[in-house]
Structure 1
Amino acid sequence: MITKGRLVVAIVFLCCVSIYVNVGLREIWWNKEHTSTEHNNTRCPLSLSYVYVKTHKTGSTTLRNILWRLHDRNTSHIRIQLYPRPFAGGYPGTFRKDLTITNGNGTSRVDVLSAHIRFNETEVREIMNPKAKYITIMRNPKKQFESSFNFYYARYGKNVGSSKKVTCHGSPYLQVAGEALMPLSQYLELAEAKLNGTYPWYFRSQNYQAYDLGLDPTRISKNYALNEAKRLDSIFDLVLIFDHLLESLVLLKDIFCMDWVDIIPDDSPSKPYDINARSENDQRIIRKLTFQDQILYDYFNASLWRKIQSYGQNRMAHDVQRLKLLIEEKRSRKDAQLNAGLFASDKSESYLRWNVKIPINSEYTRTNRNFKIMKSKNRIIAKPIARYMSRNLGWCPQ
């Protein structure tokens, strides 16, 4: 005889199963509904080979997560692995192919390079699939500067610099300020007076985006920056603008022949912060410290809107609205999954597979050259990378 308690348990169980199946079927239907067949032909094959120069504090992780979804389409391609995470090719030095690790046999061309690198076209092209697409992303220089200040300095408070990993959080802010918890306005005055190219990681406070794209951030020449912008424009298939992310993603979809479901961005995990250069003097100093960034940003922002013009403004407005609706639908589906008890991992399967940790210990040892060398089980590659990083101001001051 079935007791009342068992009956209640059975009813609850059946309800949970029903919700689970319903949500699962909705997931399958939704993905199928928004996976078009327009690109599944020879006219527009999906692009699976690309170089993504992941600039810092520009919303680049949002774009990285979108690109990683393409990895599920082809698990056999050859990629550059992050070593030491989150860098590749000896960053902050310019990219060197001999300082990389791939999942290939060392003789085949690379299909995917997606990492924080300092762009070096010659070295990159020598190892990449000649059909690879080249993309990167930029952000309003003032916002990017504030974000960098917060990420590498302000948010750590008194603990900034106490845990010196390979990324050397705190530098160069701690060395310029001489203390933790300095307000942005006070830091800017010191940076204008004393920041120079001898500080480790100085470029985080001076033309950071330009540095990542291979420019010399210490050159104060408008012609130099404009010529470099034109050179980069001839290389990159698309420079996305974070401040116009949805329009940029629509263009990315068109260039890569992606489906709508591929370009839906994840909800940002970043936390809000109150770092804002409000005074006229603060903004003047930031403009001075991001002189090259501003020229590159203005150039590629104008380039983006020319591409939008070619794409068709009405068509773009329609597609941006469609993307907004898809983003809302995804959020609604996520809420339904949470309510059904389907708690998805914060990190996708592709994240876990493609961001594999290579055995490395982030501690350093002082050497006779007065820089620090990574201790690693893979010392054959770790030592030259550490030496190259240190020679390019990528080391953690005591």
Structure 2
Amino acid sequence: MGKCTNVRLVVNVYFMLTFVGLIITVMYISETMPVIESFPTFLRKIQAYRDIFAVKHAPCKEPKTKIVFLKTYKTASTTVSAMLMRYGYYHNLSFVLPLKSPVFSRVKPFNRNMMKEAVPPLPSSNGTYDVHAIHVPFNKSEFAAVIHNATYVTIIRHPVSQFESTFGFYKAATRIKSLRKDSMNGSRDPLSVFLMDPKRHYNSLRENLKVVLRNRQIFDFGLKAKDFDNDTRVGQIIDAAAKEFDLVMISEYFDESLLLLRRLLCWKFDDILYILQNKRSGKLRFSLDAWKSKQILEWNKADYKLYKHFNATFWRKVAEYGSGFQDDLRKLRRMLDDIRSDCLDVGRHKIAYQHRRNVTMLKKNATSYCKIMNWDADVGTAVLRKRQMKNNSSSS
């Protein structure tokens, strides 16, 4: 008898607590949602969310040709620029290019006044520009004044490999006086010496080298050098970039990035094929270890925060791509293998750009298609500049 009473007591307590929990839940809902919607209204909202999702992921109807590409340093950006230039060449697009110099500025953010020294657009463009694909720090409002309704794209790289690449490519070991002796006699690794006291070596640099040897990636996004250690300002620049860019590609996942770019721009697979450009000479490479990597990340903290943010958003975009991503990746890589097989003489290369680049040679009987595929950004800039100048002179 006593056991039955205890069981009934436990059951009653259970139902009482459940009832109290239900009352509390209803009270909370009443506080947070004072008006309970009718079921038809609820259904209409669900359908609206479904419509928004469908529009966001609906297949596009035509290729996008208004593009602003923020070209960053030592991130495979030259390969992307060359790709955009080839596409523009084939589709008769007008590029924002300086009249003579390779860039508008490596330090000052883009502004519309720079267009006073720009090559005019093609006559067929009705006085408007389509694409920007060369180095200049970012300023969206100014770009928007020159290229209307553009898609904004850029690419970044892990700060450790990006900094090592920059340090080597710009021959910092021979251009920093305090490192020159170590570099010439090989007694110590110049990169290690720099990282032991980066601030001292950095402060001895000329401005044209200073601007590439610390947080250069986020500098191109708009962060000023004086704010490199200002966490609040760094966060603001990253938040702004997240809103302003339609795609931030990741150099370490280059082919994956191109699939996202292709879908964003509604391009074909043929449009995103490439031959790797601006590959650094092996003589300008430095070994990396755990200590060097840690020091580089400490020296480039703002860049690292930028990278971590967009590396996370990158993989969310890959997930949104859907189940066909891996199949498309295999297809792209098969096509790239075919390009290399058809165009490149893999065993041969030439050293170019002041002994900084190893350029893979084309086959002797390479087609005109292969020759255009092998454009780097310098060649593309020269060809497009000449075409826009020629067409404007002949039309006047």
TM-score (norm 1): 0.66
**Alpha-carbon distance, 1:333 to partner:** 2.1
Paired residues for 1:276-287 under 5 Å:
276-280=287-291, 282-287=292-297
C-alpha separation between the residues in 2 aligned to 1:132 and 1:229?
A: 20
SS at match of 1:52: strand
C-alpha separation between the residues in 2 aligned to 1:115 and 1:340?
A: 30
Instruction: Find out whether 1:54 has 2:107 as its counterpart.
Output: no
Contact 2:86 2:380 survives alignment (8 Å): no
Aligned length: 297
Instruction: Find out whether 1:183 has 2:190 as its counterpart.
Output: yes
C-alpha separation between the residues in 2 aligned to 1:287 and 1:353?
A: 34
* Residues 242 and 193 (structure 1), Cα distance of their counterparts in 2 relative to 1, 3 Å cut: same
Instruction: Find out whether 1:96 has 2:108 as its counterpart.
Output: no
**Alpha-carbon distance, 1:45 to partner:** 0.8
**Alpha-carbon distance, 1:178 to partner:** 6.2
* Residues 233 and 350 (structure 1), Cα distance of their counterparts in 2 relative to 1, 3 Å cut: closer
Per-residue Cα deviation, 1:195-230 (whole angstroms, up to 9, x for no partner)? 349841313111010111111234213332222112
SS at match of 1:204: coil
**Alpha-carbon distance, 1:351 to partner:** 6.5
* Residues 93 and 179 (structure 1), Cα distance of their counterparts in 2 relative to 1, 3 Å cut: farther
Per-residue Cα deviation, 1:30-64 (whole angstroms, up to 9, x for no partner)? xxxxxxxxxxxx95211111111100001101111
Paired residues for 1:103-142 under 5 Å:
103-104=120-121, 108-128=127-147, 130-142=148-160
* Residues 118 and 176 (structure 1), Cα distance of their counterparts in 2 relative to 1, 3 Å cut: farther
Contact 2:154 2:247 survives alignment (8 Å): yes
C-alpha separation between the residues in 2 aligned to 1:227 and 1:197?
A: 30
**Alpha-carbon distance, 1:96 to partner:** 2.3
Deviates more, 1:140-149 or 1:78-87: 78-87
TM-score (norm 2): 0.67
* Residues 350 and 245 (structure 1), Cα distance of their counterparts in 2 relative to 1, 3 Å cut: closer
**Alpha-carbon distance, 1:85 to partner:** 3.7
Paired residues for 1:319-398 under 5 Å:
319-334=328-343, 341-342=365-366, 345=371, 347-348=374-375, 352=379, 354-356=381-383
**Counterpart position of 1:304:** 314
SS at match of 2:103: coil
C-alpha separation between the residues in 1 aligned to 2:376 and 2:157?
A: 28
Instruction: Find out whether 1:232 has 2:241 as its counterpart.
Output: yes
SS at match of 1:240: strand
Structure 1 stretches lacking a partner, 5+ long: 1-41, 161-169, 360-398
**Alpha-carbon distance, 1:176 to partner:** 6.1
Structure 2 residue corresponding to 1:86, chosen from 102, 115, 130: 102
Higher-Rg member (1/2):
2
Residue 86 of structure 1 aligns to which amino acid in structure 2?
P
**Counterpart position of 2:219:** 211
Deviates more, 1:110-119 or 1:211-220: 211-220
Q: Percent identity?
A: 25
Deviates more, 1:269-278 or 1:140-149: 269-278
Contact 2:78 2:277 survives alignment (8 Å): no
Structure 2 stretches lacking a partner, 5+ long: 1-58, 184-188, 347-361, 387-396
**Counterpart position of 2:170:** 152
Residue 74 of structure 1 aligns to which amino acid in structure 2?
H
**Counterpart position of 2:391:** none
Per-residue Cα deviation, 1:90-127 (whole angstroms, up to 9, x for no partner)? 33112222123032389934221111001112222222
C-alpha separation between the residues in 1 aligned to 2:306 and 2:290?
A: 24
Structure 2 residue corresponding to 1:259, chosen from 264, 268, 293: 268
**Alpha-carbon distance, 1:80 to partner:** 1.3
C-alpha separation between the residues in 2 aligned to 1:321 and 1:178?
A: 46
Cα RMSD after superposing both structures = 3.2
* Residues 290 and 107 (structure 1), Cα distance of their counterparts in 2 relative to 1, 3 Å cut: farther
* Residues 235 and 57 (structure 1), Cα distance of their counterparts in 2 relative to 1, 3 Å cut: same
Contact 1:141 1:294 survives alignment (8 Å): yes
